[in-house]
Amino acid sequence: MRVDKLLNKLCLVKTRSIAKNACDKNLVKINGKIAKASATIIDNDIIEYELYGYFNKVKITEVPISNVSKVKAPEFYQILERGKLELT
């Protein structure tokens, strides 16, 4: 599944266009490498992204096959790190 689509489906970002714009601005990394919006995500990938003033690092435990409800979304990922970004 595309990284921009996955971030939206798992409710980690508000919209897919926000996820795509973050990828276009090099704010999303998959396994430590800068990712394009079309990059494919598989199980156990680690996604790092900077949005809404926070740095987030999540491990995708399972890629969903179809739509996911907000209540069940956390079952598909594990938050490894989350911190507030410091303004420079």
CATH of residue 72: 3.10.290.10
pLDDT truncated to tens, each residue of the chain (88 aa)?
A: 999 999 999 999 999 999 999 999 999 999 999 999 999 999 999 999 999 889 999 999 999 998 899 999 999 999 999 999 887 6
pTM as predicted: 0.89
For position 88, what pLDDT does the model report? 61
Query: Which residues constitute the domain of residue 63?
Result: 3-84
For position 50, what pLDDT does the model report? 92
Domain count, the chain: 1
10-47 burial string, b = 16+ CB within 10 Å, else e? bebbeebeebbbbbeeebbbbeeeebebebebeeebbb
